[in-house]
Amino acid sequence: MNFEGISQACMLVFDTLRDDEESQEIIDLIDTAEGDDAIKSGLQKAVLRLDVVNPAVAKEVREKAKGFAF
């Protein structure tokens, strides 16, 4: 598992969705996660939103978190 890639995926989510009102719950879920399962769930939800907002970033998040959340 690539922890650096997972961290980068989370940062991409934050940077891309931070100004998107519909994504605040997702960001909070990842930001306050109390374990791997919560982070996985947050990343999976974030990618679904990113597919709408910015598909290129969604693809990059999937690649960086591959083996962890995807």
Q: Is residue 12 part of a domain?
A: yes
| Of residues 17, 27, 23, the one with CA closest to residue 54 | 17
Domain count, the chain: 1
In the DSSP assignment, the letter for residue 35 is S
Residue 64 CB neighbours (<10 A): 22
Q: What is the pTM of this model?
A: 0.91
- Alpha-carbon gap, residue 51 to 36, rounded angstroms: 22
- Alpha-carbon gap, residue 64 to 6, rounded angstroms: 6
SS3 call for 53: helix
Q: Is residue 15 part of a domain?
A: yes
Residue numbers of the domain that contains 40? 3-64
pLDDT computed for residue 1 by the predictor: 75
pLDDT at 2 over 90: no
Side-chain half-sphere of 68: how many Cα atoms within 13 Å?
A: 25
Q: Is residue 69 part of a domain?
A: no
Q: List pLDDT tens digits, range 19-42.
A: 999 999 999 999 999 999 999 999
Q: Is residue 36 part of a domain?
A: yes
